């Protein structure tokens, strides 16, 4: 089991909070930060720590979108009891979120040994950062940005939700990047694509954090670093969400594309020179 100090937990919490919802790969950045601090990225307790700290960022989504989530959840519960309510978009949207989560959960459970083993390599992260940049660049230009959130359907939710598998298998590809790129290819506008990415990520990321809790508590140093990292992640992620929604309403994803390529190339260089261990 690997020790994670409170100071390291603060750093990882900041990295997680900043990058979880930006299309730059939070997992990739966390692995890079862990590598630079000498924390083994493939240790089970470290993988668990990372998953639980992500819950802090997810909690920020629940708080930021509290009214939307309550509206959608209320429509779902009303629809379960009243047939008339089942025609409401929010009721159907709630079911779409549930259904769209199934593929990534199934693959996550089946591929867990790979995700925590060979695919956890920083070489994979570096390659995925660059490959994901190409996908995002193409999607942002190919998409017609003409559909809003109310225009989404079951097919959209399933395709966007299933795209999370790419980020699961290839850390560095970015869950946000994969979901946003898929939504853009389906002609959603950038704000709708970003909001859909938030909502579809809630069940899978929350579940992953709770599932990994037992391993995370096994880190030397106990629960304090975990609590600190999670709290820091929450605060920073809340600010990051607010910034991202304003940014995508006015700008393309080009800045993220360039940033990902730079980080990917830099990581390849660090790995090649031995400055960071894979």
pLDDT confidence band for 11 (50 / 70 / 90): very high
Residues 58-108 have pLDDT tens digits of: 899 999 999 999 999 999 999 999 998 898 999 999 999 999 999 999 998
Q: Is residue 84 within a helix (H) or strand (E), and if so which, with residue range?
A: none
CA–CA distance, 256 with 224 (Å, rounded to integer): 33
| 226-240 pLDDT tens trace | 899 999 999 999 999
pLDDT at 205: 81
Spatial distance between the Cα atoms of 171 and 240, rounded to a whole number of angstroms? 20
- Answer yes or no: is pLDDT of 218 > 70: no
Of 97, 55, 52, give the one whose Cα is nearest residue 72: 97
248 close to 239: Cβ distance less than 8 angstroms: no
Coil/strand/helix, residue 5: coil
pLDDT confidence of 35, banded at 50, 70, 90? Answer: confident
Question: In DSSP terms, which residues pair with 188 in a beta bridge?
Answer: 147
What was the pLDDT predicted at 119?
86
Three-state SS at 217: coil
> Above pLDDT 90, what percent of the chain?
63
Residue 3 pairs with which residues in a beta bridge? Answer: 220
Task: Label residue 24 exposed, middle or buried (CB < 10 Å: 0-12, 13-18, 19+).
Answer: buried
What's the average model confidence in pLDDT over 114-119? 83
């Amino acid at each position: 089991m690997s020790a994670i100090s409170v100071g390291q937990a603060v750093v990882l919490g900041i990295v997680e909070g900043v990058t979880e919802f930006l299309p730059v790969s939070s997992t990739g950045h966390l692995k890079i930060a862990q590598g630079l601090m000498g924390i083994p990225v493939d240790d089970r307790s470290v993988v668990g720590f990372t998953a639980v700290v992500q819950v802090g960022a997810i909690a920020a989504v629940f708080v930021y979108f509290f009214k939307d989530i309550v509206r959608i959840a209320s429509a779902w519960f009303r629809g379960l009891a009243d047939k008339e309510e089942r025609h409401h978009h929010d009721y159907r949207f709630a079911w779409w979120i549930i259904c769209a989560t199934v593929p990534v959960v199934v693959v996550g459970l089946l591929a867990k040994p790979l995700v925590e083993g060979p695919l956890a390599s920083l070489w994979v992260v570096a390659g995925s950062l660059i490959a994901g940049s190409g996908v995002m660049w193409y999607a942002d230009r190919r998409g017609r940005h003409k559909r809003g959130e109310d225009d989404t359907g079951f097919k959209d939710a399933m395709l966007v939700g299933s795209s999370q598998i790419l980020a699961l298998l290839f850390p560095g590809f970015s869950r946000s990047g994969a979901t946003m790129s898929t939504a853009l290819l389906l002609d959603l506008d950038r704000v709708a694509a970003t909001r859909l990415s938030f909502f579809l990520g809630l069940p899978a990321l929350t579940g992953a954090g709770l599932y990994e809790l037992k391993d995370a508590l096994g880190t030397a140093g106990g629960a304090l670093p975990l609590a600190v990292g999670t709290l820091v992640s929450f605060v920073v992620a809340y600010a990051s969400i607010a910034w991202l929604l304003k940014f995508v309403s006015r700008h393309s994803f080009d800045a993220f594309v360039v940033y990902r390529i730079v980080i990917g190339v830099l990581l390849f260089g660090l790995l090649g020179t031995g400055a960071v261990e894979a």
